[in-house]
Structure 1
Amino acid sequence: MYSIWLYLKERAKCTGKISDVRLGKKKKNHTVLGRKNTRRRHLLNLHIGDPSRNIIEIIFRTSSTRHSKNNRKIERVFKVKNPINSLGDFEEYRESVKKKAYDRNIEHLRIVVDGNELLLFYNTTMSCCSCKLKKMSELCHNLDCGVCRIIESGFETKEMKRNGIQLSANSDTCSNQVVVTNEKDVKKAAVVCRVIAGRVANTVEVGSGEGFDSFSTRELCSMSEHLYVNNPHAILPCFVILWD
């Protein structure tokens, strides 16, 4: 699966052109902290048959351990068009993790090479999916839309600052954790993210966590249940999957 992701990462960059970034009027939002400067993101609707969508669907299904994994109906796939400065923050964080590992003589090749970049899922819901979407859509302003609020804030919310950002390598974990209410048009969603995990600590074995960049409840080599990341710059949202 990792080799498939590497191919997709090279073919479909998770950023938008400068011409795609449009600044809008500031709106008050008491639940989302956001970045100091407004950084517009957009969602690109990928139609059935799109090569990038095909690969994302394969990744989503192969990351499942269920026998019925092919029965999950994927309704929509969106590509997140991130502004250039968001990618800059992501790459800057990667370099800081690599430098820290080098300075401390940490013997972990992946950290030194790419900061130990992983492909992980963030589970949430999306409530604006009923709208008639254009090929390129701006994020909605519904405070209850998990996808739009997370992407808009760049994973900087009060709750995440307090508890860390929880991600998973297993799409089953996403499915099990998302609770969809009876509210109309609310769908389960998984945000596919590039994550700089850096030096990962096992929460069972490590007490203080000093010197680690993220925390895991299990070994990442075997589809860990959860990875907790504290720095939002370590995460770059790339795709959104809606399924039934």
Structure 2
Amino acid sequence: MKILLIGYGKMGKTIEQTALAKGHEIIGRIDHDNAHELKNYTSDNTDVAIEFTHPESAFGNISYCLVHGIPVVSGSTGWLDKFEEAVALCLKKNGAFFYASNYSVGVNLFFHFNEYIASKMQAYKAYDVSIKEVHHLQKVDKPSGTGITAAEGVLSSYTNLEGWVADNPEEKSKLNITSEREPDVVGTHIVTYASEVDKIELGHIAHSRTGFAEGAVMAAEWLKDREGVYGMKDMLNL
């Protein structure tokens, strides 16, 4: 496949290595220094775009791809207030859009198990549920997109909670997500159920970005020649 990389930071570079190892061609690398060059790419020269950028640029990049017929795989977080606009644009243009807050196969299994455990634990009122996420110092958004997705999985069963809250464990009516930023941490997410007598935890700890990159390239391969809006549940049949 001819892949356009939109975002060429640590994640973009890891995706490039993974894609090349699988025999794909990287036809362009768009970053903040050459963002104006995005206009050079259309469905005529691009099979799929993989977009990992910042909250302020993600929606514009995704919109460009959808308007110009380029299937787009996005892993950018912090922009989801405009997600429904992207979905509507994709459907209007008969485009292809794949979004995940985290492309690790392991993380998406974690999401799946998280929903199942929450569906069982909600009956046991002695346990208070909370989430902690830890990332590297360069991680801009708090909580992480993965942390929010984990929270949404819990909230699908905990209908007594009024959504989630960031770093405020005293707000008992909401699910608290604690965010920590430390050097050289790829990504850690832990869902905790704590009572006075014991504690149950479900966690995922990433050791490298390779798993994210492999999942993103897998999504690009899967999305090619499809139409519609998809996520990891669709691809992994979860």
TM-score (norm 2): 0.25
**Greater percentage in helix:** 2
Point out which structure has higher relative CO (alpha carbons under 8 A, 6+ apart): 1
TM-score (norm 1): 0.24
Larger radius of gyration: 2
